Structure 1
Amino acid sequence: MTQLPEQCCTLPPFTSDYIPTGTYFTIPVPENNQPDLRVYNTGPTDAKTVLVCVYDIFSLHQNTLQGVDHLAAASGYRVVLPDLFRGESWPVDNMPPKEGRAALTAWVQARGNWEKQVRPALVAVVNKVKEDGAVKIGAYGFCFGAKKLIQSQPDHLFDSIGLIHPSFFVPEDGAQVRVPALLVPSSGEDQTIMDAVWAGIQRQGGVVAEKSVRQDFLDVHHGFAAARSNWADERLAGRARDCHALMMKFFKDTL
């Protein structure tokens, strides 16, 4: 993994007074003896199309929950958000990290370890929504979550993926993509890496290249569509809505 974007380590997240409208359920995660997983759920539980949201390091932040509720209401899909950190998150008042940027990177890599933490949880979530009747499953990830969706590709868990202001990307990540992808860089990402990832996606050819979409949001900061934004600010709220509208169109076109 490479480092987190500079803005991810310097710009504090903003608070939100949004009251989520969904509910929670828990599911077992038998692989690696993981404890039961708490999952936020909104939209019809018997929906044939389901979106899985993979949050950023601030986990169940009100902004992220608001986006989940918005997508479910606007699309008619079921949207679920697993609590991959199981009640823990990076403290919102510890940014920039008092322990230094390396400590934050190490924490993310430990709490978000693909094989031990994230993969078993996502497999359990996908199995659950399939049991409930899901036929098509998409996923979108913010920051750290976008990297997890790259790592998910060999498991064929999702039919299309949204990669929103990604963290930890390397140029080779585009070559790992096996389904249509939405790439949404902000001003906080290394554009050279974003260009290389996009080129790798395009080289896949076929439906991946045909249905993948890239749209840059270079007028806003890293995290603008999730926990690191102030949706009381009309401009930022508008750009976050633009991003969620883009996601909804992308998933409508690919699921």
Structure 2
Amino acid sequence: MAMMGPQCCQNPPVKIPNAGSGHVEKLGGLDAYVTGSPDSKFAILLASDAFGFEAPNLRKLADKVAAAGFYVVVPDFFHGDSYTPENQDRPLPVWIKDHGPEKGFEYSKPVIEALKSKGIDAIGATGVCFGAKVVVELAKRQLIQSAVLLHPSLVSVDDIKEVKTPIAVLGAEIDGTTPPELVKKFSEALASKPDVKSYVKIYPNVEHGWSVRYEESDAEAVKAAEEAHKDMLEWSLIHVK
């Protein structure tokens, strides 16, 4: 299984509660950043990494997905207690005991039900790092129509073997958390499941977290992130219907 290694905790974002063009509301019992037309029949659940739902780049991604026609929800699976590297008294192994992905999976169920109650016809999910494990669990149980994993962590080959919905795995060439060798094993596992549509890509010259933890001033980093966003969005537009 891919663990949450040091790369998962590099470049923590500045958390800005009011970032993005959407707003925060209660959904399925959780605070959630929501963006996009409430009249849309298609939704994307965007599962954050350990840094939580207030990360500006994550909300920009949510807004970008919303602009393509989706109603997008980014739940606060951590109840305001996202990971803070500066807190030396609570390192990642301690923090994750309180906020394991199995909890995120359970919290996501009422969020999905709340979306359905709004008249949503199809729901896809995208998970970054920690959030990818949440999305995989949803895909294993067919609670979503489509899955996208961006530089996943905590995901095993056995997890991938159990996926039952279309899935795209977008990995980084420079990734100690989910290295290319493991991503290739994911690809092999999916290739043995012809009934499950899949897409696997390893992006060159990027590190774990590149899709959401980039610096706006770094043109190359922004370009690499936008390529991943484009691929994620194209996959979702095809399979969330």
- Same fold, TM-score > 0.5, yes or no: yes
The SS at the match of 1:21 is coil
What is aligned with 1:110?
Answer: 98
What is aligned with 1:63?
Answer: 57
Q: Which runs of 5+ in 1 are unaligned?
A: 29-35
Q: Does 1:82 align with 2:70?
A: no
Identity between Structure 1 and Structure 2 (%): 26
Mapping of residues 4-19 of structure 1, within 5 Å: 4-9=4-9, 11-15=10-14, 19=19
Q: Would you say the 8 A contact 1:85–1:112 is kept in 2?
A: no
Deviations 1:181-234 (A, max 9, x none): 11011121322211111211221112x1xx3111211311111112x3212211
Q: Distance in 2 between matches of 1:239 and 1:7?
A: 17
Q: Distance in 2 between matches of 1:202 and 1:174?
A: 11
Q: Does 1:121 align with 2:107?
A: yes
What is aligned with 2:116?
Answer: 130
What is aligned with 2:237?
Answer: 252
Deviations 1:45-94 (A, max 9, x none): 12111000000000021111111011111x11111111100111111545
Q: Distance in 2 between matches of 1:217 and 1:5?
A: 19
How many angstroms does 1:27 deviate by? 3.3
| TM-score relative to the length of structure 1 | 0.85
Aligned partner (choices 157, 179, 188) of residue 171 of structure 1:
157
Q: Which runs of 5+ in 2 are unaligned?
A: none
Q: Distance in 2 between matches of 1:142 and 1:160?
A: 15
Structure with more helix by fraction: 1
Q: Does 1:20 align with 2:23?
A: no
What is aligned with 2:220?
Answer: 235
How many angstroms does 1:38 deviate by? 0.6
Q: Counterpart of 1:165 in structure 2: which amino acid?
A: H
Q: Distance in 1 between matches of 2:96 and 2:191?
A: 29
Q: Would you say the 8 A contact 1:58–1:92 is kept in 2?
A: no
What is aligned with 2:45?
Answer: 52
Q: Does 1:220 align with 2:220?
A: no
Mapping of residues 192-231 of structure 1, within 5 Å: 192-206=181-195, 208=196, 211-226=197-212, 228-231=213-216
Q: Would you say the 8 A contact 2:211–2:225 is kept in 1?
A: yes
CA pair 179-109 structure 1, distance change in 2 beyond 3 A: farther
